[in-house]
Amino acid sequence: MEKIYYNNPLLKRSSELRKDKNFLKGILDNEDVNFIPMRDDENYFISGKKEIKPLILKRQELELYTKDINLDKMIFLGKINEKFYFSINIKSKIDKNNLEIDQGDIITDQLRNVIGSLTELDSSYLALAKGMIFWHKKNKFCGVCGSKTKAKEAGFVLKCVNKNCNESHFPRTDPAIITLVSNKDKVLLARSSRFPQKMYSTLAGFVEPGESLELALKREVYEEVGVNVNKIEYFQSQPWPFPASLMLGFFAETEDTDLHVDKDEIEDANWFDINQLKDLTHPDITDGFKLPRFDSIARRLVNDWIRRHEKK
């Protein structure tokens, strides 16, 4: 069973508690509460010789770096195994001198850069913290009247302070389709100039207003490589908080093999047969190409297609 990152069910979001200010205020003083610090768009980690793990602070430790331990500054993430989790953006640098850390150093880094050292559960609450902090940073002012906003409902609502406006703003997720297009025993992979060197991935694109997922898929594939698809099959979804997307995975088939690559959208596209793909999944064989990241739904689409094809 493949690991699924950024979306572990053990993280209970407990959204019913977000409006209960008295309850949440009581939690903030509890010794069992865990605080997940952020430094803008980077997460905090403890980096040791053999492992990297999330930095989790208790109240007394958090007080060393900030006095803003109140609901207006906190984001309530939920609970894991009956322990409650909050996130907060801390401007001052956290070091280990005042913390009970025997080994390792405290670092900040992008979540994707260290994902290989984390569990699926760790990745889930860290991704939620990252996504919410990003949303708060981008919405300090009301999009309707331009006045400042103030956090409500444990950080999941930003309210305009202008009483004549009083607009409520909620976290937004951008839906994006991602699809593995196949023709018999071959699949279509493409690369963007933004990708790591030699990496090819599945086709993807954002859903536009008033557009269904299926129509978005057909449009994006045709725009990028000039082929028409059919037999669309839903696979899975995955939150991708980099910064705020929800990837909706599909399989699709095509009878068109000639590609007409839109160079403004992608750098290159090619057909790969199953033997090439199986070689690419082997850690010692690269064949000049690389598959998508192991934590991505794109990689799971490829791996699942290989398994399905081998059973035929």
Query: Can you give the pLDDT at residue 103?
Result: 74
Residue 105: give the domain boundaries. Answer: 15-132
Whether the model clears a pTM of 0.85, i.e. scores above it, the answer is: yes
Query: Can you give the pLDDT at residue 68?
Result: 82
Q: Is the domain of 162 the same as that of 205? A: no
Residue 4 resides in a domain:
no
Query: Can you give the pLDDT at residue 305?
Result: 95
What is the tally of structural domains in the chain? 3
b/e 25-41 (16+ beta carbons within 10 angstroms → b): eebbeeeebbbbbbbeb
Q: How big is the CA angle at 213 (ends 173 and 241), to the nearest 5 degrees?
A: 25
- 10-residue averages of pLDDT along the chain (312 residues): 87 96 90 92 89 92 87 94 94 79 85 93 97 95 98 97 97 96 95 90 97 98 97 96 94 96 93 84 60 93 92 75
Q: Is the domain of 264 the same as that of 305? A: yes
Q: Is the domain of 56 the same as that of 157? A: no
Query: CATH number of the domain that 187 lies in?
Result: 3.90.79.10
Adjacent-strand bridge partners of 54: 45
Query: Can you give the pLDDT at residue 286?
Result: 52
Query: Can you give the pLDDT at residue 3?
Result: 80
Residue 3 resides in a domain:
no
Length of the chain: 312
Domain boundary among 110, 132, 154: 132
CA distance 62 to 94: 9
Query: Can you give the pLDDT at residue 280?
Result: 66
Query: Can you give the pLDDT at residue 30?
Result: 81
Q: Is the domain of 164 the same as that of 178? A: no
